[in-house]
Copies of this chain bind each other. A is one copy, B any other.
Amino acid sequence: MNSVTIPKATVARLPLYLHALEILAAEGTCTVSSEMLARRVNVNAAKVRKDLSFLGTHGVRGVGYDSSELGTRIREALGLTRDFGVVIVGIGNLGAALANYDGFGEQRFHIVGLYDADPGTIGSKVGDLVVRDVRHMPADIAENNVEIGIIATPAAVAQEVATQLEQCGVRSILNFAQTVLQVEQADVRRVDLSTELQILGYYLRHDQS
């Protein structure tokens, strides 16, 4: 939507910069250098500057970036200028933990629906939401303008849930199940514990990370 397209790798780092900035702001820092951000995010300072240059930012040479302005720039670039509705499907161990997580309450992401298929789970309260039957999901999504779906069901049904989410118009899916989802258009991000552990396991032997 904006002028230039931001490289994928840069997009993935913007949230880290933003978070670092929020901490710095809380500490009362008004001006921040690329070097300072780089240390906090564990990257090269030149990379920070190049990343920020895609936002059309203007730091001041010899001085650095105004931390509050830079924050708003990054938020704009990420589209965090409005609210996003999120649903979680599969309220088991993990789903319930995610639902309880209030770390993005501060952000623009709001959990507006929890869904499960198990009659024993449906109706129970998690946080301040009541778990609803997954059959109500399509209507709810349409009504509440939900844009993001989080899948925390067993792997066996994750694909089915994803398809359903997509049919409801959800274009962004965060998948915690151990499956690679096949979708039409949706953007899927995958978070998988055992994959992460296996990668770590590899580098335990081949240390040179």
Contact = CB atoms under 8 A, between A and B. Distances in A.
A148 B200 contact: yes
Interface string A24-45: 0000000000000000111000
Contact of A202 (B16, B40, B42, B77): B77
Contacts of A6: 202, 206
B202 A103 contact: no
A107 B147 contact: no
A182 interface: yes
Contacts of A178: 19, 103
Copy tally for this chain in the complex stands at: 2
Most chain B CB inside 10 Å of its own CB: which residue of A5, A93, A107, A197: A197
Contact of A199 (B11, B100, B194, B199): B11
A2 to B, nearest CB: 8
Interface residues of A, number: 64
A196 B202 contact: no
Contacts of A203: 11, 172, 187
Interface stretch (A58-66, A78-86, A114-122, A131-139): A78-86
Contacts of A12: 195, 199
Given A93-B100, A100-B93, A193-B101, A199 B40 contact: no
